[in-house]
Structure 1
Amino acid sequence: MEKSKKMAALILATMLAVSSSSAMAVTVLAEEDTAVAYSSSDTESWSEYDYQILDDGTIEIIYYYGCDEVIIIPSEIDGRKVTGIKGFNLSNKENIKSITIPDGVTSIGDSAFSGCRSLTDITIPDSVTSIGCEAFYNCSSLTNITIPDGVTSIEYGTFYDCSSLTNITIPDSVTSIECEAFYNCSSLTNITIPDGVTSIESETFYNCQSLSNIDISNSLISIGMDAFAHCKNLKNIKIPDSVTTIELGAFNDTLWYNNQPDGLLYAGKVLYLYKGEMPENTKITLKNDTSGIADNAFSYCTNLTNIKIPDSVTIIGAWAFFSCPNLTAIEIPSSVIGIGVYALLGCGNLTIYGNIGSYAESYANTNVIPFVDINKKITTLTSKVDNISVNGTFDNGVILNVEKATVENAVKAYNITLKDENGNTIQPNGTITVSIPSDKANCKVYLIKEDGTKVDMNATYNNGNYEFTTDHLSIYALIADTSEPSNEPSNEPSNEPSNGPSNGPSNEQSSTISDSSKSNSDTNNTDSNKTTSETGKNGVETGDSNNLFAMAAMLTGAITAISTIIFKKKRT
């Protein structure tokens, strides 16, 4: 990393110098395998400094090639005021121990003192308003520094790897702290973020292992990825209510995080993470004052099935619900104005419930996720009275009201109604399913009309619940089903054999003729309760016994006729 940053600094310095005047001749100064390009017409030398004259007539020092360990930068050169410092001698930087910057300097350039590993003391005047990226990168012996009041931003990697830095004062003028500004400042113990700062960027305090306390202003809105990751001793941190966005891993491997119990973990009012193993079939309703959902908050929560987000949330972070394959329903309110990348990727069974015209609907359409108007969501309402429930589409604020009723001969009876948010009794706005728990399995459910008549609801009994559908709620009664098979004579022929021997034709007699392959004893042993189809596939039922005699008479006549013909032929 150090080597790559050195190279980047060298390339940047080269590009800046070359770009100053593309039409002018260039002189290259090389020293110990380093090369920095300057314009021969713009660059001038004085003592051990190379400098350029700026448009306003002031001087910017672009190179110091001396060998001193203690450096006092001049305030003027040739009568011109020094206002900027661009860079120092790359060959001698590791020997520099002390630097004094004169009053009047307003800017310290990118990588100006980068790699000055022996630097222990630096004086920065109040006139400085700008400190560039990686200005003190890898100044590993620097212990203290005071940033002037005029500085508004601590840039990328400004104090990266200042491993001996124990104390730093950030003025109220600072409004932003950029990525990796204090990366691996492993000796830093305390820090106060001023009121003007609205964001702490990615890895700002990464691996500040001695940092134990941090005071964050009430103006902070966002905390970047890994901002405090691996600050192993950070145990006291108060996240203000103003924070709405926390990115991935912001507090990973900190004492604050490690000491938190399993379950929903909040950082301020942001749902930071679900910590630990989630139970099966988990349904979650977030707190009403939740302001945001952090990056990665529920990623890989395979047991999450349903979540309701309150209308106080404005941001859902990246990867928030990544790879939650059993998440089937998420309620996203109209207050949400941003959903991070891959927030719902890997939720293949998901339906988004939200308001028509909301950001949630637009997000669902863009990402081809089923969307349902939240006002038409199928909801289950359950009463405390015997756990009776109704399932259907209800307007917001509707509640189920159940009162026990008295109906003659009923096992139980209930007056089941719906109440709107004003307490008025209303009817369903469509078909709903009613479920009435009972341990009595032999009942029918009846609707009791105002005139006392009963209407069978054709309820089914499943898992200890009577269930039926209706679009009108009223009084319902569970009445024991005492109905028995009808004793009225049937028009269908009887399958029972006669109780006594047949002595002749009878209108009540029926018989079963078995297949010829069956013996008489088999036929006589047939169970009297079996139907014809049960006693033999080839068995047929006879009709009235009079028909049998008619058939016998016809058969006798036919035999007589045949016998007469044969007799006559023999005689002839």
Structure 2
Amino acid sequence: MKTTKKFTAIILSALMAASVFSAVTVSAKTLDGEVTAVSEDLKNDDYMYIILDDGTVEIKTYMGDASEVIIPNTIDGKKVTSIGDEAFYENKNLEKITIPDSVTNIGNAAFSGTAWYENQPDGMVFLGKVLYAYKGIMYGNTNIVIPDGTVSISKNAFCGYLGLTKVTIPSSLKKIGEYAFGSCSSLRDITFSNGLTDIGDKAFYDCYGLTDITLPESVTNIGNNAFEGCSRLKNIVIPDNVIIIGDAAFCNCENLSEITIPNNITNIGKEAFLGTAWYNNQSDGMVFAGKVLYGYKGVMPENTSIEIPFGTISIGNSAFCDCSNLTNVTIPNSVKYIGKRAFRNCTNIDNILIPDSVTAIGDSAFVYCTSIDNVVIPNSVTTIGENIFGHCTSLKNITIPDSITDISYGTFSDCTNLENIAIPDGVTNIGEYAFYGCENLKNINIPNGVKSIKESTFNGCKSLINITIPEKVTNIGDYAFTDCKSLVSLVIPNSVKKIGYRAFENCSALETITIPNSVTSILESAFDGCKNLTIMGYKNSVAENYAKENEINFIELIKKIITGDADENEIVDINDVTYLQRHIAGNKNTDELPLIDESNKDVFESVDLNKDGKLDVQDVTLLQQLIADNKE
């Protein structure tokens, strides 16, 4: 008898909102041309899974042994769109797998070694509407016609099949996965149909039998290294709807001499056309592809000043990367996007004026621009990438507009001269290492919408005198305030549940920290090196236990008695309802004492809501009503 197990899970992580640009619409996904994870690994029953930045779910690992698995269309209202690399690898009991139409991506070797895969006949293998793989031996001069109804070709599906010479793609196909036809060196003829939107990374890598390609008008994204090494390719017309050409997309296509670039493109990646005849024929200086400033070619003279011509809509990835002789650049009011690493390591630029036409700035755009001392980001900018001003050691002043809601990973890391910064009230996320090593930063405000102080966010902020943690913060991450040597006093709000590993290590001036009962976990070495510290907290709390175990001075706080606060954590919420129900049912503490000390008159009266001298289900009902009234 076969066992059937349906994939069910509750997703516990919030989703990142998609960024939308004006004029040319560019989403958070299309800045990179790929979808990435925005959650840590989550577990439910036999599954590990993640949330992707487009708000959908990827199954990472199946840990069960069922012979039949059925994956639903949605999990907690979010589409399941992807099955990760080796997700079901070597699950030898798996005989049947059913996937929904929402799944458009299946990773490398996701079902290799399963009974299901071993039982498939040679040839094209399908899962739902996804062409998962080609199985078995492929003989020379093979012509593949992909059947209508197929929506995507998975990663590595035909990779390395030297016998493949011709492929016909139907209009139903939307996506060609990473390395799908990589190293198919005999492939000479590929017929695309209108409907294809996404050509994945290395999709046709080293297909040096290709000489001519006509891409359909529906294509919007050409991935990193998509046609790299197609050395016989002579010409390419990029369709008008393409927004992104990825890094090294046509690199080393040495015979590619004719490239037609539409005006819609906002992002051309690093070395996208390096090693092509087209690039080799360009004159030294600024090189343009359509309206994108693709890069600077040749040796840049000392003390160079660049004026980018009006009409340019984008500065490409790595366009001026490592141009240490560049001292001044004028960006026109037509530019909408400044690409990744666009001015990386331009060590002699001392000022940058970003026009109000710019809506997005890519990762590491100004990293290691060590002479920049002042930056104003205009209100038009809605997205700033990771590490954008990292290691800008002369940066003293930065203006962040109200349009920014997310300060990403490492945004200002090692900005050693930054003293003050005003973070807009609308910011809801401050990423890991955002202010790491800002040793002269004295004051900073954390907006009320921020829910987590992440790993090493303020690590090494040696001059930080005080900081207020907002009431919505639930977690203080590992190393969050390590080496904040000027911090004297801190109050942890009642919302915080966890203080991470070495979170306040070497905060040598820290004298007092108030830790509420809401904190249920303080990890190892959280306060190592805080030699003069006194922890203020409540009796029998995690804070008191941590202080005793680590020989830290402890001062007991007097608990506030709040009506309905059954668990005495100074917050009245649904947890108090559960706590009261458990007490009435006779549950005990770990020391075998009742959950609620009914001999304490003040505590007892705070939960005896009907004032009848006993705790029962009527008090539970009144507590539920109290919480509901407080929410209104």
TM-score (norm 1): 0.48
**Structure whose alpha-carbon radius of gyration is higher:** 1
TM-score (norm 2): 0.44
Structure having the higher strand fraction is 1
Structure having the higher helix fraction is 1
